[in-house]
């Protein structure tokens, strides 16, 4: 591929092109990042557990390395994700071995968001303040029996009720007055989950929470969801008046998590290319509401989907860091 071609330059008129990175990939994939990406997200380094593993003990070294790399290379930085039911240390939810009461949860949330927001300041232009607070899809017969529960059952919810969500946005606004504040979630194109995510965000907006955008994670596969379902989702979320970011794009080569390992054949690569082209065409056509498209990783070798026992090939760069043919097609399509 020509040295002159650049994904982020080609898409400048549409949206930013981002990658989730870590302290290894900013070195290993530095050249790819510099050529094709103008935005980064820390894969784990800004999450609660990494930043404050023990109460009052903050560690910013890894995130700071990534921020320095991004600044040096004129990349924007998305902040991800201080309020999440995962990767939050046990101590946060406990007091003397029992569940921490609401006041203490809020005190800790305030201290955490203050320190993190003030540490990064305007270097982070946008925060996924809350991640994945909507309940996952449950079978239809469950809904008939128990109702269509909007909120994920978490320790936050147990301690504070749904008010913790509103609180998180107000705290982030207080300590990071200039950042754009997002909510981020997955399975966002599943019709039932979409309804829950929509309701969760509508409730926040109705309560006056400073929510400005929604992050569609886009952990899809080369088989699903249907492009029409993605389109419907974009329209539904945008109808709330929110900006949209695609925050964690990858296209798994498997139908499901349980499939046995396959090999990455030309046929699968072509299917994947077609899906990438279709989705990018859709995203370009909604560039009036989509400001950023971020991939969850740079190259297949270090994708979270390849870390287990099963290999996967979800990204635009292969196991050796070479561009897949679809990269040039995506660039040409934007010209
Ligand atoms: C979710 C989170 C990300 C990351 C991925 C898997 O989508 O939002 O931060 O942990 O899972 O790696």
* pLDDT tens-digit readout, 84-130: 999 999 999 999 999 999 999 999 999 999 999 999 999 999 999 99
Taking 70 as the threshold, does the pLDDT of residue 143 lie above it? no
Whether cis (ω within 30° of 0) applies to the bond prior to 284 is: no
Note the pLDDT of residue 257: 87
Evaluate: CB of 85 within 6 angstroms of ligand 1: no
Mean pLDDT of 241-265: 96
Percentage of the chain with pLDDT > 70? Answer: 96
Annotation says 278 is catalytic: no
Q: Give residue-wise pLDDT tens across range 38-83.
A: 999 999 999 999 999 999 999 999 999 999 999 999 999 999 999 9
Tens digit of each residue's pLDDT (9 = 90 or more) over 254-294 = 999 889 999 999 999 999 999 999 999 999 999 999 999 99
CA geometry: angle at 66 spanning 62 and 69, to 5°?
140
At 20, is the secondary structure helix, strand, or coil?
Answer: strand
* Cis bond upstream, residue 225 (ω within 30): yes
Asked if the model's pLDDT at residue 2 lies above 60, the reply is no
Report residue 271 CA to chain centroid gap: 24
* Topology (CATH level 3) of domain 7-334: TIM Barrel (3.20.20)
- Check residue 260 and give its pLDDT: 94
Among the options 43, 166, 188, 248, which is catalytic? Answer: 248
How does residue 11 score in pLDDT terms, banded at 50, 70 and 90?
A: very high
- Given the CA of residue 81, which atom of ligand 1 is nearest to it? 9
Q: State the Cα–Cα distance between residues 75 and 269, nearest whole angstrom.
A: 29
Residue 228's pLDDT is what? 98
pLDDT at residue 140, rounded to an integer: 67
Q: Going by CA atoms, what residue is nearest to atom 4 of ligand 1?
A: 43
Instruction: Write the Ramachandran bin of 227: left for phi over 0, alpha for psi from -120 to 50, otherwise beta.
Output: alpha
Can you tell me the distance from the alpha carbon of 317 to that of 306, in angstroms, rounded to the nearest whole number? Answer: 13
Q: Is 114 exposed, middle or buried (0-12, 13-18, 19+ CB in 10 A)?
A: middle
Would you list the domain boundaries of the chain?
A: 7-334
User: DSSP class of residue 208?
Assistant: T
With a 6 Å cutoff on the Cβ, whether 183 touches ligand 1 is no
Question: pLDDT class for 248, splitting at 50, 70, 90?
Answer: very high
- Chain mean pLDDT for the chain: 96
Predicted confidence (pLDDT) at residue 1 exceeds the cutoff of 70: no
Q: How far, CA to CA in Å, does 96 sit from each of 93, 103, 105, 157? A: 10, 15, 13, 20
310 Cα–ligand 1 center, Å: 18
């Amino acid at each position: 591929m020509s040295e002159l071609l650049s994904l982020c330059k080609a898409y400048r008129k549409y949206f930013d092109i981002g990658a989730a990175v870590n302290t290894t990939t900013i070195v290993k994939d530095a050249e790819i990042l510099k050529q094709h990406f103008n935005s980064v997200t820390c894969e784990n380094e800004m999450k609660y557990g990494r930043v404050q593993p023990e109460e009052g003990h903050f560690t910013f070294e890894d995130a700071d390395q990534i921020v320095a790399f991004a600044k040096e290379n004129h990349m924007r930085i998305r902040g991800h994700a201080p309020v999440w039911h995962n990767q939050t240390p046990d101590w946060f939810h406990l007091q003397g071995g029992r569940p921490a009461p609401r006041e203490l949860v809020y005190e800790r949330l305030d201290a955490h968001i203050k320190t993190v927001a003030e540490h990064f300041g305007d270097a982070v232009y946008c925060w996924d303040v809350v991640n994945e607070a909507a309940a996952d899809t449950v079978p239809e017969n469950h809904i008939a029996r128990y109702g269509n529960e909007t909120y994920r059952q978490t320790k936050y919810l147990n301690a504070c009720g749904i008010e913790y969500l509103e609180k998180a946005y107000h705290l982030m606004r207080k300590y990071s007055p200039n950042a754009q504040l997002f909510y981020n979630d997955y399975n966002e194109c599943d019709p039932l989950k979409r309804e829950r995510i929509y309701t969760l965000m509508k409730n926040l907006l109705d309560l006056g929470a400073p929510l400005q955008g929604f992050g569609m994670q886009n952990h899809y596969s080369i088989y699903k969801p249907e492009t029409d379902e993605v389109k419907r989702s974009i329209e539904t979320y945008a109808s709330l008046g929110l900006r949209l970011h695609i925050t964690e794009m990858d296209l798994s080569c498997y139908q499901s998590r349980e499939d046995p390992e396959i090999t990455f054949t030309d046929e699968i690569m072509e299917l994947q290319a077609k899906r990438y082209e279709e989705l990018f065409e859709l995203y370009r056509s909604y560039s009036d509401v989509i400001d950023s498209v971020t991939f969850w990783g740079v190259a297949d070798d270090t994708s979270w989907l390849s870390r287990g026992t099963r290999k996967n090939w979800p990204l635009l760069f292969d196991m050796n860091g070479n561009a897949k043919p679809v990269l040039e097609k995506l660039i040409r399509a934007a010209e």
